[in-house]
Amino acid sequence: MTDIMTPTLGESVTEATVARWTKKAGDPVRKDEVLVELETDKVSLEVVAPEDGVLTDIAAAEGETVEPGALLGRVTAGADAKAAPAAPKPETAAAPPPTEEAKAAPARKAPSPPAQAKTPSAISEATPAPAEPARTAAQPILAPSAARIVEENALDAGAIAGTGKAGRITKGDALAALEARASAPQAEKAVQVAVAPREAGPREERVRMTRLRQTIARRLKEAQNAAAMLTTFNEVDMSAVMGLRNQYKDVFEQRHGVRLGFMSFFVKAAIAALKAVPDVNAEIDGTDIIYKNHYDIGVAVGTDRGLVVPVVRDADALDLAGIERTIAELGRKARDGTLSLDELQGGTFTISNGGVYGSLMSTPILNAPQSGILGMHKIQDRPMAVGGQVVIRPMMYLALSYDHRVVDGQGAVTFLVRIKEHIEEPSRLLLGL
């Protein structure tokens, strides 16, 4: 059992408010996973789990004030309280790939050497799942011989059409997929069993990538290779939204039964921006561009298995409470591993928040086949020039990665400016400006 203490909060900062627990008592936690967000006047910061285990109790609830060194909660080390539901471990040869395939590095605390946490992108569109209602997401069943072929050749089982009983993948299906790949004219090959793996040095350790990881790696490259991906940046002053939140958060929660976070504002702002720049809400398909005309916003959620991006359907029709509620529900399902394939597919735009991991600025990777992804980051007090004065404002860098084949530079920049406007002046959301 390890005590989680309030860290030192910075010079002359004597107290913090417990803003949000990302876990409930009894939830499994992983080392370095964010447990709780603390807010001070100057800065928001996250406190992470020191080890794998279970969050056994919460000593300081949301809204409470804590001092540096105060007990926040306790983590008991050990195996997860619940096994990964519906998603078998991808290690063994015969096991099918996990329920949700995500691309991302697992959560990392801010000061991690090679650059900040890769901003994760979305769930890959899984293969049409076999016609069995019981399966929640594509979870192909592989004959033993097929599993061997998939493993030996690092094929993506999720992309193989199964012609066996009830969609099972037979050896013939796997062989056909192997042959199709061999004859497909691709610039980059899928991760293959090394033609000539180099010798690991005496101090080096060679670890085989899990199939999930290999799939993630391949999909990242596919996304990168397909799109002409660029990233444009802006920054947004969060004080208006934070003020709004502080003013109304209790009433909001009482009235709507759900906490008011920042995400709902950003979803609304994003929708306003998407309406202003429809190209960002489009998809390139061969020689055509498909304009979606609906707003299904994917919201990235960190889970112990990695990042998943459930979709808030028709987010333009929801009010802030509705969005918060949906995000909370999807987030819960994501962490429980009960998201359905339906909830993961079909998003038109994605929002990803690297700020919870401590990222200040990053270049998110597109969630294919979407043409834009908004990266939110850590809110950090910075000195800003406002009206000729230097004032401290809680600032957040925004990043928009976009497919330049579909979205031009002006559109991309305008998109972020619109978001900035709607966040800095939330009344614009009300007035439809």
Partner 1 sequence: MAAYDVVIIGGGPGGYNAAIRAGQLGLKVACVETRATLGGTCLNVGCIPSKALLHASELYELAREDFAGFGIDATVKLNLPAMLKQKDDSVAALVKGVEFLFRKNKVDWIKGKGVLAGEGRVQVTDPGGKTTMLETKAVVIATGSEPAPLAGVEVDQIRIVDSTGALSLPEAPKSLIVVGAGIIGLELGSVWRRLGAAVTVVEFLPRITPGMDEEVAKTLQRSLSRQGLVFRLATRVTGAKAGDKGVQVTVEPVAGGDAETLSADYVLVAIGRRPYTEGLGLEAVGLTTDARGFIETEHGRTAAPGVWAIGDVTHGPMLAHKAEDEAVAVIERIAGKAGHVNYDVIPSVTYTFPEVATVGKTEEELKAAGVAYKVGKFPFTANSRAKVNHEAEGFVKVLADATTDRILGAHMIGPDVGEMVAEWCVAMEFQAASEDVARTSHPHPTRSEALRQAAMGVEGWTMQA
Does residue 404 have an active-site annotation?
yes
Contact 155, 177 (CB under 8 A): yes
Find the binder of partner 1 among 78, 172, 383, 409 (CB under 8 A): 172
Under rule CB under 8 A, residue 165 binds partner 1:
yes
Q: Cα–Cα distances in Å, from 191 out to 21, 90, 91, 97, 194? A: 39, 16, 16, 16, 8
Stretch that binds partner 1, among 101-109, 162-170, 288-296, 368-376 (CB under 8 A): 162-170
Residue 370 near residue 402 (C-beta atoms within 8 A): no
CA 212 vs CA 17, 98, 168, 307, 358: distances in Å: 38, 7, 19, 12, 25
Query: How near is the Cβ of 322 to partner 1 at its closest, in Å?
Result: 42
Interacting residue with partner 1 among 56, 76, 170, 210 (CB under 8 A):
170
- N-to-C CA span, the chain: 52
Q: Report the residue number, 166 or 228, with the smaller CB distance to partner 1.
A: 166
Q: Taking the CA of residue 315 as centre, how many other CA atoms within 13 Å lie in the half-sphere pointing to its CB?
A: 32
- Which is nearer to partner 1, 168 or 404 (by Cβ)? 168
Task: Reply yes or no on whether 294 is catalytic.
Answer: no
Query: Which is nearer to partner 1, 140 or 331 (by Cβ)?
Result: 140
Q: Please, what is the minimum distance in Å from the beta carbon of residue 175 to partner 1?
A: 6
Output the CA–CA distances (angstroms, integers) from residue 79 to 27, 31, 55, 75, 389, in the order listed: 11, 12, 12, 12, 54
Interacting residue with partner 1 among 92, 112, 163, 224 (CB under 8 A): 163
Choosing from 74, 109, 171, 213, the residue that interacts with partner 1 (CB under 8 A) is: 171
Residue 156 makes CB contacts below 8 A (sequence gap 6+) with 97, 150, 190, 215, 218
Residues 329-368: x where in contact with partner 1 by CB under 8 A, - otherwise, as a string: ----------------------------------------
Kindly tell me which of 175 and 328 has the beta carbon lying closer to partner 1.
175
In the complex with partner 1, the residue whose CB is nearer, 95 or 176, is: 176
What mask of x and - would describe binding to partner 1 in positions 129 to 158, judged by CB under 8 A?
Answer: --------------xxxx-x----------
Q: List b or e across 159-174, with b for residues whose CB sees 16 or more CB atoms inside 10 angstroms.
A: bbebebeebebbbebb
CB of 87 to partner 1, least distance (A): 24
Binding partner 1 (rule: CB under 8 A), the pick from 13, 81, 95, 175 is: 175
Which CB atom, from 134 or from 195, has the smaller least distance to partner 1? 134
Indicate the pairing of strand 53-58 with strand 71-77.
Answer: antiparallel
| Smallest distance from partner 1 to CB 192, Å | 21
Q: For residue 219, which phi and psi values (nearest 5 degrees)?
A: -65, -35
Among residues 13 and 178, whose Cβ is nearest to partner 1?
A: 178
Q: How far is the CB of 173 from partner 1 (least distance, A)?
A: 8
d(CA 118, CA 302): 12
Looking at this protein, which amino acid is placed at residue 218?
A: R
Number of residues forming the site for partner 1 (CB under 8 A): 14
Written as one string, the DSSP assignment of 336-363 is HT---HHHHS--SEEEEEGGGGT-SS--
- Regarding 168 and contact with partner 1 (CB under 8 A), the answer is yes
Residue 198 contacts partner 1 per CB under 8 A? no
Check 32, 52, 80, 404 and give the catalytic one: 404
Closest CA to 418 of 242, 263, 239, 275: 275
Determine, following the binding rule CB under 8 A, whether residue 95 of this chain makes contact with partner 1: no
If one asks whether residue 271 binds partner 1 (CB under 8 A), the answer comes out as no
Q: Are 320 and 372 in contact (CB under 8 A)?
A: no
Q: Catalytic one among 80, 256, 408, 422? A: 408
Query: With 0-12 CB in 10 A as exposed, 13-18 as middle and 19+ as buried, what is 200?
Result: exposed
Query: At closest approach, how far in Å is the CB of 174 from partner 1?
Result: 9
- Bridge-partner residues for 38, per DSSP? 18, 45
In this structure, what DSSP letter does residue 280 have?
Answer: G
Residue 60 or 146 with smaller CB distance to partner 1: 146
**DSSP H helical ranges for 227-288:** 239-256, 263-276
Residues at the contact surface with partner 1, assessed by CB under 8 A: 143-146, 148, 163-165, 168, 170-172, 175-176
- Residues marked active site are found at 404, 408
